[in-house]
Amino acid sequence: MATSFRTFLFLLQLLLFFVASSAEANDPRETYLVQMKVGGHRYGSSSGHQELLGEVLDDDSTIEDAFIYSYSESFTGLAARLTQSECQKLRRRREVLEVSRSRDLKLQTTRSWDFMNLTLEAERNPENESDLVVAVIDTGIWPYSEVFSSDSPPPPGWENKCEDITCNNKIVGARSYYPGKEKYKWIEEKSVIDVTGHGTHVASIVAGRKVEKASYFGLAEGTMRGGVPNAKIAVYKTCWNVIRLDGTESQVCREHDVVKAIDQAILDKVDIISFSQGIKYTQLQEDKISWAFLRALNNGILTSAAAGNTGKYHEVVNAAPWVMTVAASLKDRFFETKLELEGEDKPIVVYDTINTFETQDSFYPLLREKAPAELIRKRELIAESKIHPISSNDENDEGKDVLVPFSKIKLLDKAIKERAKGAIVLGKELHDFNETKKLQFPIASIFLDKLKKAKLEKYYRKHQGKGSVKIHKTEEIAREEGWVPTVAKISSRGPSCDKFLANILKPDIAAPGLDIIAGWPENVNLLSDDVPSNGYRHLRFNIMSGTSMACPHATGLALYLKSFTNSWSPSAVKSALMTTSTEMTDEGNEFAYGSGHLNAAKVLDPGLVYETHYQDYIDYMCKQGYNTEKLRSDAGSDKIDCSKTEIDPKADLNYPTMTARVPLDAPFEEIFRRTVTNVYDGESTYRGEINYRGDKDFDNIIVDPPQLQFSELGQTKTFTVTVTGTSKPNWKAGKAFMTRNTWLTWTEIDGSRKVRSPIVIYSVKEPEACSLIPKT
């Protein structure tokens, strides 16, 4: 029987493969980004792009079928649906720099603001806040939520532009980028309405209006609000639900759509971009989105972006130095769910389940199933399937709560219809689900991994099959006093595999990203797709986790700072967030969390900032050996010329952190040259101090000069930091080296300001993850 069923599955997969292959053969076009050279030809405008396209199309093709977008601000070129022969023709054109396939991006999916010290009582500038606009490039928005309302008008000079919905005083822009020419079956219509919840959640974290008595079925009850509740939101929807050629349902976020959204955000003159998406295994030479963010920066727009959710070293995304890359941290509270065992002092406690149903009113006896590993508690009903039966051992029982393997979780659909009251769900592995995914089920439930399941079975054997249990409602627990922020295990880490970014510490900063309660579309299921549906439970708020949630916290704090200092450059805002951050103590080191944890209590008065401007990034890329013609097109300027720049692999930026890669097991001397700008309106003197925690991983660090004296606002001072030592293996099981938990702090003499910058010297062998990046 099992063999014949597997054969059937194989034949079905084979049939699907041939159907998909046949469909692809009938439509050989793919979406490409065509990057043009800057200047020297007549094809630089939208009409020029279409003229060029018309010259290379096959005989049976039309411009209307092929052309998608022309870009004016974020990218030098166009997007089009092309055949292989048309691609080859374009690549041979002297006006074309390169033709690359548009790639898929992935979404990097209360009291979190209080935890960052941005409380309801914090100093505010509501009038200036209401003049700020955040661009949220995501899955759209649920405009009917009360969190997206405002009493103040749009910013002066702002032109409301909303597709499919009516703009209001909070949502002042809403556009969608519908990849209708792609080879998918569309589940949703072209609209800015959010049908997944991700974009609504992100937007409400940044700028949601204050809503009192918000909670998730009584959990995390309090006042829900965004970091800048008076700011405005411009929505750019680039992610869509589709059915792929193989029949699977998924979410698609296409690269060319994102670039177009950035293009429009620049034209709209937004104040900041919040971007909770990313592409793994890419580098700057191929990353059209990161270069679009540099163009945004050249227009005074800072980008805050998610670091990624793989939890692995060398897999940080959005790592360009002009982007603020945000890691995810834990909050000062966590969710705890208990399975109480009658007659035992200690319950089974889990942290990966959220049970919003009330604690059961009594203990219920456990009954053994035919299969020894599966237990049944006597209460209300059993679900049943022809392939995987889950049935009672007593036909006369009126009902049960069933304990089922997670692999058979879809059976709960039937159990719900039969009025089941609860379930204990079993996993086969230790820690089946990482901390980003809190399992929720449509009935009172608790999830037990392999270790916790063994405890339950031990209890069952001890009581000879007569034990009883009680599922408790999840509780929110405060961490112990003195707890220091910790980076989430799922947050992607540096260093970047990109050779151009070897001397840049990424991520830049950490922000709350786990168990975040925020706005949610009331028409969207609260549960994830891998558990049975729960159509009758909808709510205005939901709990989500990931760097997708950390990113808007950093976006919100940057906007909060801009409401007081709107004339500051993007790099000054980013520097202030980084140098005033709270020190973190994770074993994971700075490649997990960057400068530290965001701290709103100090960000308005950083004292000194590290400024890095557009031209500094261009000069840096030239010194790193970036091709002049490619750089002109990527940055969108024909004035760039790297030919006279001496290549220097140790080239550095005026960055708030100091990082260098060195050979392993060898002496090193690294010199960092930095310039700081005084942003305090008065006289001040700072003393440079080197601090480290734990083992000393260097021989000596010299700061020259050791003191900096300022007499006026805007004054600059330059200093050097020289680090010497030997890169003896001390990291990654003796296979790498790193100066861990070491930093320079400029401490104000007779004052309270401190400007902290991590110092990271490291040696690593190229990991397997880096080999996945195409070499160029």
pLDDT digits (tens, 9 = 90+) for 190-222: 899 999 999 999 999 999 998 888 888 888 777
Ramachandran quadrant class, 515 (left: phi over 0; alpha: psi -120 to 50; beta: rest): left
Share in percent of the chain as helix, strand, coil (round to 5): 25, 30, 50
Burial class, 195, CB count within 10 angstroms (exposed 0-12 / middle 13-18 / buried 19+): buried
In this structure, how many other beta carbons lie within 10 angstroms of the beta carbon of residue 503? 25
Q: Is 290:321 a contact under the CB 8 Å cutoff?
A: no
SS (H, E, C) 185-202: EECCCCCCECCCCHHHHH
Q: Identify the residue with better confidence: 397 or 671.
A: 671
Query: In the prediction, which pLDDT does 405 show?
Result: 57
Residue 581 to residue 487: CA distance in whole angstroms: 14
Burial class, 7, CB count within 10 angstroms (exposed 0-12 / middle 13-18 / buried 19+): exposed
β 249-254/468-471 pair status: unpaired
Lowest mean pLDDT among 438-442, 527-531, 575-579: 527-531
Q: Is 379:401 a contact under the CB 8 Å cutoff?
A: yes
Residue 742 to residue 49: CA distance in whole angstroms: 51
Residues 6+ apart with CB under 8 A from 437: 352, 528, 545
In the chain the first and final C-alpha atoms are separated, in Å, by 51
Percent of the chain past pLDDT 90, that is, above it, reads 57
Long-range contacts of 537-542 (CB under 8 A, 24+ apart): 537/442, 539/216, 539/217, 540/145, 540/146, 540/147, 540/211, 540/214, 541/214, 541/215, 541/216, 541/224, 541/517, 542/197, 542/201, 542/216, 542/517, 542/518
Give the chain's length.
Answer: 776
Query: Average pLDDT over the chain, rounded to whole?
Result: 84
Lowest mean pLDDT among 144-148, 681-685, 734-738: 734-738
- In the DSSP assignment, the letter for residue 359 is P
State pLDDT tens for residues 157-195: 898 899 989 999 999 999 999 877 777 777 788 899 999
State pLDDT tens for residues 301-346: 999 999 999 999 999 999 999 999 999 998 878 889 999 998 899 9
Q: Which residues are catalytic?
A: 138, 198, 548
Lowest mean pLDDT among 77-81, 446-450, 548-552, 626-630: 446-450
Residues 6+ apart with CB under 8 A from 573: 302, 558, 561, 562, 565
Question: In which band, very low, low, confident or very high, does the pLDDT at 409 lie, cut at 50, 70 and 90?
Answer: low
What's the rounded mean pLDDT across residues 437-462?
Answer: 83
Residue 34 to residue 45: CA distance in whole angstroms: 13
Instruction: Of 605, 500, 508, 604, give the one whose Cα is nearest residue 554.
Output: 508
The alpha carbon of residue 553 and the mean position of all alpha carbons in its chain are separated, in whole angstroms, by 11
Query: In the prediction, which pLDDT does 373 show?
Result: 38
Q: Is 307:279 a contact under the CB 8 Å cutoff?
A: no
What's the CA dihedral at 580, 586, 592, 597 to 10 degrees?
A: -20
Residue 478 to residue 688: CA distance in whole angstroms: 37
Task: Give me the helices (H) in 27-130, please.
Answer: 46-56, 63-66, 84-91, 112-115, 126-129
Residue 65 to residue 661: CA distance in whole angstroms: 48
State pLDDT tens for residues 220-256: 777 788 999 999 999 999 999 888 777 788 888 999 9
Query: In the prediction, which pLDDT does 462 show?
Result: 87
Three-state DSSP at 122 gives coil
Question: In which band, very low, low, confident or very high, does the pLDDT at 719 lie, cut at 50, 70 and 90?
Answer: very high
Three-state DSSP at 561 gives helix
Residue 593 to residue 730: CA distance in whole angstroms: 19
Q: What angle do CA 570, 323, 754 make, to 5 degrees?
A: 60
Residue 41 to residue 44: CA distance in whole angstroms: 7
The alpha carbon of residue 714 and the mean position of all alpha carbons in its chain are separated, in whole angstroms, by 34
Instruction: Of 651, 283, 616, 334, give the one whose Cα is nearest residue 474.
Output: 334
In this structure, how many other beta carbons lie within 10 angstroms of the beta carbon of residue 96? 21
Residue 426 to residue 441: CA distance in whole angstroms: 13
Residue 527 to residue 434: CA distance in whole angstroms: 16
Query: In the prediction, which pLDDT does 416 show?
Result: 57
Model confidence, pTM: 0.88
Q: Identify the residue with better confidence: 539 or 566.
A: 566
Q: Is 132:567 a contact under the CB 8 Å cutoff?
A: no
What's the CA dihedral at 640, 643, 649, 651 to 10 degrees?
A: -50
Query: In the prediction, which pLDDT does 717 show?
Result: 98
For tokens 């151009």, what's the residue? Answer: 500
Residue 265 to residue 295: CA distance in whole angstroms: 11
Q: Is 412:532 a contact under the CB 8 Å cutoff?
A: yes
Tokens coding 616 = 């500094």
Tokens coding 555 = 């976006």
Residue 607 to residue 737: CA distance in whole angstroms: 33
In this structure, how many other beta carbons lie within 10 angstroms of the beta carbon of residue 729? 14
State pLDDT tens for residues 525-534: 776 555 554 4
Residue 293 to residue 114: CA distance in whole angstroms: 30
Residues 6+ apart with CB under 8 A from 614: 294, 297, 298
State pLDDT tens for residues 699-709: 999 999 999 99
Question: In which band, very low, low, confident or very high, does the pLDDT at 386 lie, cut at 50, 70 and 90?
Answer: very low
The yes-or-no verdict on residue 2 having pLDDT over 70 is no
